[in-house]
Amino acid sequence: MSARSHGQSTRAIHGTHLRDAHGAPHLPVYNTTTFAFPSTADLLDVVEGRKAGALYSRYGLNPTTFALEETMAGIEEAEAAMAFSSGMAAETALFAQYGRDGIICLGDAYGGTLELLADQLPLLGIRTTFLLGDELGRLEDELRGGPKLIFFETPTNPALEIFDISAIAALAHRHGALVAVDNTFASPVNQRPLDLGADLVVYSATKYLGGHSDITAGVVLGSAEKVAALAPWRKNLGTAIAPETAAMLSRSLRTLTVRVKAQNAAAQAVAEAMDADPRVARVLYPGLASFPGHELARAQMNGFGGILTIELAADGATTSRVADRLELFALAPSLGGAESLATQPVTTTHHGLNPAERSRRGITDSMIRLSIGLEDPQDLICDLDQALGEVRA
């Protein structure tokens, strides 16, 4: 019975062969830093890579971490997965290993990613070229210049712009470049970049994979060879996931598919209600037929996700008052949890950008990004309706 023949929900629950000697249904937490060996020869087998095995938790060589990585690889149907202490830690290893000949970052990216690429990595000689969606015509020229890693999110934050993973991967591969996709917004339930030709996928597991706003973690997936090359970075930067966090993340993965599917349906309902509300000027959600990226999203995604951005028919100050008046939506700059969150990007995720740069990225003062949780969708719509009372229709 091959795990590959099972559906994604089954793989998420039965995705590891690692079992406990007492018959526990899930591998207990190996909350230990080190592991003893019967002999020096046995220890050397693991140290020198002849045998897989637990050795030292900071190396990521811990059974709880192995179980998580095996399950993640199964969910994504990737050859290998590697777990990190955060999404940013995962990206740091990825950029350090594969970005040394230059990185091209497409579209908007997570604020921390933009800072890492623009401010810290140049200090180490790693340079990034930034191309927005309307500058993709320059991508091939940039590839001729030699950069070897293309990195992007799709859908992007907060405008939900959709990039064509297959087309970008085909172009990159013609020029010998690699493609890494930050699939945090979509999750493996809604999008499978490796199937579309991407070489590597990175997640902030802090969001949908964790799903309860209670753990910080990251994961990189891809071929066994490409993922293994990240191991020395994780080991010596000290960015392995903690065993307790790995166990919590494994627990979260068992409900990933049901959570994401419920959030997709709720986000669609909220998007449609907001689209019909005259106090809302524009709704950015890939699941709306009127959304510019809708057709592409339909072609490359299995679901449209739990994030939408509404642009109010109001100024920035009124938009802040609407955000403040929300009761069920907590005002917090994260996403992917069981509870719904709202954030006005100009005050949080994109606060650091100057107004010219924001407008170049299509981010306005009137936008509120919503991360739809697992509450009853009708309650969320009612909450938005009462908060929109601040807007004169």
Ligand X SMILES: *Cc1c(COP(=O)(O)O)cnc(C)c1O
Residue 218 binds ligand X (CB under 6 A): yes
Q: Which is nearer to ligand X, 191 or 318 (CB)?
A: 191
Q: Which two tokens stand for residue 100?
A: 């040394």
Known catalytic membership, residue 59:
no
Residue 64 binds ligand X (CB under 6 A): no
Q: At what angle do helices 63-76 and 243-253 cross, to 10 degrees?
A: 30
CA distances from 290 to 225, 275, 369 (A): 42, 10, 18
Known catalytic membership, residue 285:
no
**Cα 124 to Cα 224: distance, rounded to the nearest angstrom:** 27
Known catalytic membership, residue 208:
no
Residues 6 or more apart whose CB falls under 8 angstroms from that of 236 comprise none
- Which listed residue (69, 76, 182, 390) binds ligand X by CB under 6 A? 182
Q: Which of 11, 192, 207, 259 is catalytic?
A: 207
Strand partners, 310: 283, 368
Q: Which is nearer to ligand X, 71 or 204 (CB)?
A: 204
- Binding footprint of ligand X, residue count (CB under 6 A): 15
Q: Which is nearer to ligand X, 13 or 297 (CB)?
A: 297
Strand 367-371 and strand 80-84: the pairing is unpaired
Angle at 152 between CA 148 and CA 158, to 5 degrees: 160
Residue 285 binds ligand X (CB under 6 A): no
We find the least distance from the C-beta atom of residue 334 to ligand X, in angstroms, to be 7
Taking residue 52's Cβ as centre, other Cβ atoms within 10 Å add up to: 10
Q: Which of residues 188-207 bind ligand X (CB under 6 A)?
A: 204, 206-207
User: x/- site string to ligand X, residues 221 to 260, per CB under 6 A?
Assistant: ----------------------------------------
Residue 184 binds ligand X (CB under 6 A): yes
**Cα 388 to Cα 358: distance, rounded to the nearest angstrom:** 24
We find the least distance from the C-beta atom of residue 336 to ligand X, in angstroms, to be 8
Residue 112 binds ligand X (CB under 6 A): yes
Q: Which residue has the tokens 């993340």?
A: 249
Known catalytic membership, residue 110:
yes
341 backbone dihedrals φ, ψ, rounded to 5°: -125, 150
110 with 182: CB under 8 angstroms?
yes
Residues 6 or more apart whose CB falls under 8 angstroms from that of 373 comprise 263, 266, 306, 337, 338, 339, 340, 341, 380
Residue 309 binds ligand X (CB under 6 A): no
Q: Quick one: which segment of 86-94, 173-181, 278-286, 306-314 binds ligand X (CB under 6 A)?
A: 86-94
Residues 6 or more apart whose CB falls under 8 angstroms from that of 79 comprise 73, 222, 223, 224, 227
Q: Which is nearer to ligand X, 90 or 273 (CB)?
A: 90
Q: Which of 110, 203, 208, 285 is catalytic?
A: 110
- Which listed residue (60, 63, 74, 87) binds ligand X by CB under 6 A? 87
Q: Which of 182, 199, 277, 365 is catalytic?
A: 182
Please report, in angstroms and rounded to a whole number, the separation of the first and last CA atoms in the chain. 60
Q: Which of residues 142-181 bind ligand X (CB under 6 A)?
A: 153
- Which listed residue (30, 59, 110, 291) binds ligand X by CB under 6 A? 110
Q: Which is nearer to ligand X, 55 or 131 (CB)?
A: 131
Q: Which two tokens stand for residue 301?
A: 């995604």
- Which listed residue (46, 82, 88, 106) binds ligand X by CB under 6 A? 88
Q: Which residue, among 220, 273, 10, 210, has the nearest Cα to 99 in the 3D structure? A: 220
Q: Quick one: which segment of 110-118, 187-195, 247-255, 370-378 binds ligand X (CB under 6 A)?
A: 110-118
We find the least distance from the C-beta atom of residue 155 to ligand X, in angstroms, to be 10
We find the least distance from the C-beta atom of residue 185 to ligand X, in angstroms, to be 6
**Cα 319 to Cα 109: distance, rounded to the nearest angstrom:** 23
Q: Which is nearer to ligand X, 88 or 253 (CB)?
A: 88
Catalytic residue set: 58, 110, 182, 207
Binding footprint of ligand X on the chain (CB under 6 A): 86-88, 110, 112-113, 153, 182, 184-185, 204, 206-207, 216, 218
